[in-house]
Amino acid sequence: MSRSESRQMSHQIGLRLDDDLYARLVAAARRHDVAPTAWARHLISQSLGAETERVLPRARRGSNHKITEEGRGAMRFAGELGAVGSNLNQALAQVHTARKSDQLTESHFKQLETTIKEVQALYARILGELLA
């Protein structure tokens, strides 16, 4: 449900279910490819004869979809790229701070050089995977 839809439905209720009823709700929600809460809202709406257009569940996204091996590889590379990018950002911030305070040393440049080499190595790995 998008944020605008959740704002339109501003009231919440809490339900306690026994194990059997909860298992049935989850199983039915999975059969319809929706979240259990969306399915429960749909069933309540139907049983009360309410307008169901706004509460009809939408298909779940994300975790219930199969991820291909290529997708996993892309996600792995994206995570590594984020980590290396963070390291590069930190190294550049340290160089900038040291330069402003006239405390710039050779170690700052060595750290920056090491981080740039990490970026280049990751780039080469990604390019190698894409061209393989």
Whole-angstrom CA distances from 121 to 80, 84, 128, 129, 130 are 11, 10, 10, 12, 14
Q: Using an 8 Å Cβ cutoff, are 39 and 56 in contact?
A: no
**Along the 132 residues of the chain, how does pLDDT read in single tens digits?**
555 555 667 788 888 989 888 988 888 888 877 888 888 888 888 888 776 555 555 555 555 456 777 777 788 888 888 888 888 898 899 999 999 999 989 998 898 899 899 889 988 888 888 787
**Residue-range domain boundaries for the chain:** 1-65, 69-131
Contact between 35 and 29 under an 8 Å Cβ cutoff? The reply is yes
Q: Determine the residue type at 74.
A: A
CA distance 97 to 90: 10
